[in-house]
């Protein structure tokens, strides 16, 4: 499995993280799914209604809006992005939500700008390769 994330979208996400620092930034990843992986075609920023440096929550109305937008433009919501004030690895809370929401979870570290992608398959969270 892989996640294709263009350099342009990576830069956009890093700018989003810097803009929201020290709070956690979040966004939706829209694109396409294949048997080999996921391709991000659009990043849609979202509001962290917790306004927190250690957690995020997206307003349910924004969730509805992004799924509606994806339908309108012929894409899928393939994942969610958020930043961490720690390494780019899932927290215990993230792991719980990943199992309940099997989509790509992309996490960026505010410490070193590293980024990690994770996907739940058969209730097991796996790190997936980010291309290019």
Q: Which residues participate in catalysis according to the annotation?
A: 24
* Cα-Cα-Cα-Cα dihedral sign, residues 67, 118, 43, 83: positive
Buried b (16+ CB within 10 A) or exposed e, 38-58: bbbbbbebbebeeeebeebeb
DSSP state of 36: S
- 98-127: b (≥16 Cβ within 10 Å) or e: beeeebbbbbbbbeeeebbbbbbeeeeeee
Backbone angles phi, psi at 124, to 5 degrees: -115, 125
């Amino acid at each position: 499995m892989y996640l294709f994330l263009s350099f342009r979208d990576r830069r956009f996400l890093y700018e989003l993280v810097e803009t929201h620092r020290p709070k956690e930034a979040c966004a939706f990843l829209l694109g396409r799914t294949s048997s080999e992986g996921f391709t991000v075609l659009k990043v849609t920023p979202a509001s962290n209604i917790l306004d927190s440096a250690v957690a995020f929550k997206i307003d349910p109305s924004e969730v509805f809006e992004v799924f509606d937008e994806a339908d309108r433009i012929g894409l899928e919501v393939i994942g969610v992005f958020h930043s961490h004030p720690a390494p780019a690895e899932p927290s215990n809370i993230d792991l719980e939500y990943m199992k309940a929401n099997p989509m790509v979870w992309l996490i960026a570290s505010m410490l070193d700008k590293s980024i990690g992608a994770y996907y739940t398959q058969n209730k097991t969270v796996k790190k997936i390769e980010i291309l290019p």
